[in-house]
């Protein structure tokens, strides 16, 4: 053995504090708040449910040991049910180190290790927590082997064209604070606005209940405002207020998450560091990068900017026990005109333009068969029903939803394209938010052409390709393009 067997750092027991200790804290909080500890102690089921999370962590901590020899990383865990996990060092694709506030406090690091077996299953990476000294030793021992197969993708490993820079030619990109705030502000806000509304309404009800506000007074105030301004204006104002709040929260959140975002490129590999509370470091060998995604929200497109992400096994993966999935961010804000140059600096073979294939002119109406259009029509039906039956005029909400969905469809038609050649495949898709996926042909694993009877007669189909990337990011679809595009891609895969 050249390392271990060693137990994790004790911080491991508390690193998912909110997940493991939440029930215990809530139960104790309620018992203390009511001044009656019997609520907690009289019921065995409650005690078991509350202490299960912390006990599970303790058992894992006490029974897990990690060791490394010349060829393998071994993890032994379990008490009643023992488990022995062996990972050949040659198969390790990435090792990244993270530090949450608790880790920083106790000088510990969380190491995430990914190999071929963890690519397809998101949330299946290996996670370990060690003190600084052990973490550094392990990181060096587990350093991704550049000769290792990339997810058993032999073809991709052959491709070493990227490593053309001299080692002294180190480039560094550092994101400005304003850029980090802007990406938070300009990112798509629909889901976040809905989450924010749920949190605010939930919080409002809690405060109202526990602070003793008078329900009737609040209801009267709402009714009064409702009568003066009308339902449509109230809904519009509420949406604008929530949207602005979402923009503000998004900016602050992005600033905290990506604080001090740096990308260092030494020609062979790139290193990404960021984080204010949770510090993260990723090292990716360039030969393991499958491709890039250039994402633009509606607002970003107005300013001709976008976010560049990179697809590489281990970056953007969700490791075991991780609470949130990381986004494989590469450049937070990048001007459209700089896109090809930037990609060219990292993987020169992907930095060229070719003529994209767009959806056929006569196939635009196929984009109407989408969930957003059906949902908008259902909204209009409900708003019509409420307006006619209950006399509350919210018809504008339904009409607005339909108009927005039709605009989205028109933009999907304009944004969709696919192009492929001997070196790369590019798929653009999306409505208000546009995503352009650029993938090395050698990293494309499969292709699917999907069509219905009537579409087939018109030579129209959805083309989907699967490529080497962390689970959840490993597919891209071009909707309603010519079947020629699929035949072209199929032909390239054969070679």
Partner 1 sequence: MEYRKPSEDAVRYWRTVRLITFFTVGAISLAVCLLMNLDVGATWKYVVLTLIVVINLYNLTALILFPKIEYMQWGYLVEEDRVVIRHGLFWVDKDIIPVIRIQNITVSQGPVMKQYGLFQIEMALASGKFTIEGLKQDVADEIGENLKNRLYSRLAAREDEK
The binding site for partner 1 (CB under 8 A) comprises 116, 119-120, 151-155, 158, 445-453, 456, 466-469, 474-475, 486, 490, 493-494
Cα-Cα-Cα-Cα torsion 87, 88, 89, 92, nearest 10 degrees, comes to -60
Closer to partner 1 by CB, 35 or 147: give it: 147
> Shortest distance, CB of residue 241 to partner 1, whole angstroms?
30
Measure Cα distances from 451 to 51, 124, 427 in Å: 52, 33, 18
| Tokens (6 digits) for 374 | 């059906």
| Identity of the residue, 41 or 450, whose beta carbon is nearer to partner 1 in the bound complex | 450
Report residue 349 as tokens: 């073979």
Q: Residue 423 or residue 466: which is nearer to partner 1 going by CB? A: 466
- Measured over the CA atoms of residue 462, residue 465, residue 469 and residue 472, the dihedral's sign is positive
User: Which of residues 130 and 366 has its CB atom nearest to partner 1 in the complex?
Assistant: 366
Burial of 185 (0-12, 13-18, 19+ CB in 10 A): buried
Q: Which is nearer to partner 1, 305 or 468 (CB)?
A: 468
Shortest approach of partner 1 to residue 439 CB, angstroms?
11
Distance of closest approach, residue 451 Cβ to partner 1, in angstroms: 6
CA-CA distances (angstroms) from residue 211 to 25, 125, 198, 207, 466? 22, 45, 20, 5, 54
CB of 466 to partner 1, least distance (A): 4
Closest approach of Cβ 401 to partner 1, in Å? 20
Quick one: 196 or 485, whose CB is closer to partner 1?
Answer: 485
In a 3-state reduction of DSSP, which class is residue 45? helix
Q: How many CB atoms lie within 10 A of CB 54?
A: 16
261 vs 486, which CB is nearer to partner 1?
A: 486
Tokens encoding 24: 């215990």
Of 53 and 117, nearer to partner 1 (C-beta) is 117
Give least dist CB 205 to partner 1, A: 22
| Cα Rg of the chain, angstroms | 26
Which residues, 6 or more positions from 111, have their beta carbon under 8 angstroms from its beta carbon? 95, 96, 97, 127, 128, 129, 130, 135, 138, 139, 142
Shortest Å, Cβ 296 to partner 1 = 24
**DSSP letters spanning 144-161:** PPTTS-BTTBHHHHH--T
- Distance in Å, CB of 152 to partner 1, minimum: 6
Specify the residue, 154 or 252, whose C-beta has the smaller distance to partner 1: 154
Phi, psi of 458 (to 5 degrees): -95, 10
Assess contact for 292 and 310: CB atoms under 8 A: yes
Residues β-bridged to residue 429: 435
Helices assigned H by DSSP within 350-434: 371-385, 395-415
In the complex, the smallest distance separating the C-beta of residue 475 from partner 1, rounded to whole angstroms, is 7
Place of tokens 């990435």: 94
Contact 435, 428 (CB under 8 A): yes
Q: Which residue do the tokens 């937070």 mark?
A: 332
Q: Could you tell me the smallest distance in angstroms from the CB atom of residue 100 to partner 1?
A: 29
- Measured from the CB atom, the residue of 121 and 323 that comes closer to partner 1 is 121
Cβ at position 370, least distance to partner 1 in Å: 14
**Shorter beta-carbon distance to partner 1: residue 146 or 448:** 448
Cα atoms found within 13 Å of the Cα of residue 160, Cβ hemisphere only: 6
* Least Å from the CB of residue 456 to partner 1: 7
Nearer to partner 1, 44 or 453 (CB): 453
Dihedral sign for Cα atoms in the order 384, 385, 388, 393: negative
3 state SS of 258: coil
In this structure, are residues 493 and 447 in contact, taking their beta carbons and an 8 Å threshold?
Answer: yes
Identify which of residues 146 and 451 has a Cβ nearer to partner 1 in the complex: 451
> Are the CB atoms for 481 and 459 separated by under 8 Å?
no
Residue with tokens 């006399």: 391
Q: Least distance in Å: CB of 354 to partner 1?
A: 21
């Amino acid at each position: 053995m050249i390392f271990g067997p060693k137990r994790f750092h004790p911080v491991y027991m508390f690193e998912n504090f909110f997940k493991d200790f939440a029930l215990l804290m809530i139960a104790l909080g309620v018992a203390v708040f009511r001044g009656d500890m019997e609520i907690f102690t009289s019921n065995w089921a409650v005690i078991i449910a509350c202490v299960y999370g912390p006990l599970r962590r303790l058992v894992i901590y006490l029974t897990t040991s990690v060791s490394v020899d010349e060829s393998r990383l071994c993890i032994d865990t379990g008490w009643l049910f023992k488990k022995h996990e062996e990972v050949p060092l040659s198969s390790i694709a990435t090792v990244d180190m993270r530090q949450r506030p608790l880790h920083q406090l106790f000088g510990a690091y969380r190491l995430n290790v990914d190999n071929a077996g963890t690519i397809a299953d998101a949330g299946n990476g290996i996670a370990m927590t060690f003190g600084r000294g052990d973490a550094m030793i392990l990181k060096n021992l587990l350093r991704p082997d550049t000769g290792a197969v990339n997810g058993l993708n032999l073809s991709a490993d052959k491709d070493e064209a990227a490593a053309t820079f001299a080692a002294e030619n180190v480039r560094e990109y550092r994101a400005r604070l304003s850029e980090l705030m802007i990406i938070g502000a300009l990112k798509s806000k629909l889901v976040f606005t809905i989450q924010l509304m749920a949190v605010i309404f939930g919080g409002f009800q809690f405060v109202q209940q526990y602070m003793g506000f008078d329900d009737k007074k609040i209801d009267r105030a709402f009714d009064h405002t409702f009568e003066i301004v009308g339902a449509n204006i109230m809904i519009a104002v509420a949406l604008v207020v929530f949207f602005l709040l979402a923009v503000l929260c998004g900016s602050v959140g992005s600033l905290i998450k990506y604080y001090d975002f740096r990308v260092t490129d030494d020609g062979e590999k790139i290193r990404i560091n960021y984080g204010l509370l949770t510090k993260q470091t990723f090292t990716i060998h360039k030969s393991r990068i499958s491709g890039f995604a250039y994402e633009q929200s509606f607002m970003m497109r107005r300013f001709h900017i976008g976010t560049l992400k990179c697809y590489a096994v281990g970056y953007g993966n969700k490791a075991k026990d991780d609470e949130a999935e990381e986004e494989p961010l590469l450049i937070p804000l990048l001007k459209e005109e700089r896109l090809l140059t930037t990609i060219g600096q990292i993987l020169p073979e992907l930095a060229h333009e070719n003529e994209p294939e767009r959806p056929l002119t006569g196939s635009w109406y196929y984009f109407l068969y989408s969930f957003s259009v059906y949902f908008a029509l259902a909204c209009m039906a409900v708003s019509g029903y409420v307006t006619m039956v209950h006399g509350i005029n919210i018809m504008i909400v339904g009409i607005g939803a339909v108009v927005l969905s039709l605009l989205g469809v028109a933009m999907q038609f304009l944004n969709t394209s696919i192009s492929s050649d001997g070196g790369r495949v590019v798929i653009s898709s999306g409505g208000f938010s546009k995503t352009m996926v650029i993938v090395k042909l050698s990293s494309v694993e499969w292709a699917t052409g999907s069509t219905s009877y009537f579409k087939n007669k018109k030579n129209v189909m959805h083309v989907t390709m699967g490529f080497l990337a962390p689970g959840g990011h490993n597919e891209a679809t071009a909707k309603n393009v010519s079947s020629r595009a699929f035949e072209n891609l199929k032909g390239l895969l054969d070679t």
